[in-house]
Amino acid sequence: MFDVTANGARIPALGFGTFRVSEDDVKRIVPKALQTGFRHIDTAQIYENEAAVGEAIEISGVARKDIFLTTKVWVGNYRHDDFIASVDESLAKLRTDYVDLLLLHWPNNDVPLAEQIGALNAVQKAGKVRHIGVSNFNTALMADAVSLSDAPIVTNQVEYHPFLDQSAVMDAANRFGMSLTSYFAMADGKVFENDVLKDIAADHGKSVAQVVLRWVIAQNNVIALSKTVTEHRLAENFDIFDFELTAEQMKAIHSLANANGRIVSPDGLAPQWD
């Protein structure tokens, strides 16, 4: 395991995500993820499993100070007072007095971005969050967020996998000293049917999932969120630090990107993508 350093934050390059993971599964698998070696846990208010994540961390046997914990504020809570109250509620559910990283989950044009960023800064200054960031922002919104914020923006969490070119967002992140955090790295399962990825996996004696996760974190200041509710895949997903992809293999995986690669683009939330 290694860390990505971005605007003063040290973020474990491989995280464990809990999107669409039930409370029962969270309480079962997150302690095992932490015992396996994961030290970066990602959740969100809208996932409705923050309380389970908090319980899972407590029973894991891993000290809270050794875990990088991320959550996200939902768009309906972006008005300043609602934002502050929602963060307090998240902290109570997570059984902690701070989170390491707090993100705006999606853009919301109904609330001025300055108000959203102001609330992020307020909870950071109050010590409720160590670092702040955004999620699902395009490059224009990234620039606006950086210009409006007193505290550094440390990441933009976006859909990123071999079939989606995110070079514009990645270039912007690098300009701003930010990291990029990849979700949906497995492209909702599509990676497992790809012959290029299968061949590369065979070359290394690894699984396709391991190759994809390694490809993500091999890039400059890019973090991968993995997800599983299966124990043997948990260990497999963590076992990606004993091999490296060649330059030719990295290029071959990048070449899989196509114009129709985006999977997540909900109406009413998604910005004008780059």
Residues 199-217 pLDDT 10s? 999 999 999 999 999 999 9
Q: What is the pLDDT of residues 142-190, one digit of tens each?
A: 999 999 999 999 999 999 999 999 999 999 999 999 999 999 999 999 9
Does residue 265 belong to any structural domain of this protein? no
Rounded to an integer, the average pLDDT of 81-98 is: 98
For the chain, give the DSSP string: --EEEETTEEEESEEEE-TT--HHHHHHHHHHHHHHT--EEE--GGGT-HHHHHHHHHHHSS-GGG-EEEEEE-GGG-SHHHHHHHHHHHHHHHTSS-EEEEEE-S--TTS-HHHHHHHHHHHHHTTSEEEEEEES--HHHHHHHHHH-SSPEEEEEEE--TTS--HHHHHHHHHTT-EEEEE-TTGGGGGGG-HHHHHHHHHHT--HHHHHHHHHHTSTTEEEEE--S-HHHHHHHH--SS----HHHHHHHHTT--TT------TTT-----
Does residue 31 belong to any structural domain of this protein? yes
Position 71 confidence tier, pLDDT thresholds 50, 70, 90: very high
- Distance from the Cα of residue 108 to its chain's centroid: 19
Does residue 218 belong to any structural domain of this protein? yes
Rounded to an integer, the average pLDDT of 73-89 is: 98
Q: 244, exposed or middle or buried, with CB in 10 Å at 0-12, 13-18, 19+?
A: exposed
Q: What is the CATH number of the domain that holds 185?
A: 3.20.20.100
Does residue 148 belong to any structural domain of this protein? yes
Does residue 270 belong to any structural domain of this protein? no
Does residue 243 belong to any structural domain of this protein? yes
Does residue 182 belong to any structural domain of this protein? yes
Q: Is the predicted pLDDT of residue 58 greater than 90, yes or no?
A: yes
What's the whole-number average pLDDT of the chain?
98
Does residue 271 belong to any structural domain of this protein? no
Residues 6+ apart with CB under 8 A from 175: none
pTM of the model: 0.98
Rounded to an integer, the average pLDDT of 53-71 is: 98
Q: What pLDDT, on the 0 to 100 scale, is given for residue 1?
A: 84
Structural domains in the chain (count): 1
Domain assignment of residue 224, given as a range: 3-254
Q: Which residues carry out catalysis? A: 47
Rounded to an integer, the average pLDDT of 127-147 is: 98
